[in-house]
Amino acid sequence: MNKPNTRILDYVTLVQDGVMTVDDAPQDIRAEVTKWVRYFAGIKDDSMVKDPESATPAPQPEKKQDATSFLTKKVTD
């Protein structure tokens, strides 16, 4: 894989920062920008299938006991 030139990297950075989309890149380098955006995003194939693990809900943090909850309890003798 050849190294991208500075012009391509500039457009890749703009796409990654959300300033523009790949479609906004000049036509002559659009394919290269797409290739490098995908490379830096870690996309290894051309499929558009979602990762099945990403469909599962994110784990919820465990509820911890409030540190001051013991103050509200009444002590009985």
Task: Provide the b/e sequence for 2-38 (b: ≥16 CB within 10 Å).
Answer: eebeeebeebbebbeeeeeeeeebeeebeebbbbbbe
C-alpha–C-alpha distance, residues 54 and 69, integer Å: 36
* Residue 72's pLDDT band (cuts 50, 70, 90): low
pLDDT confidence of residue 42: 87
Alpha-carbon radius of gyration of the chain: 24
Residue 39 phi/psi, 5° resolution? -60, -50
User: Could you report the per-residue pLDDT of 19-62, keeping only the tens digit for each?
Assistant: 999 999 999 999 999 999 999 888 877 665 555 555 556 666 66
Q: Which amino acid is it at 28?
A: D
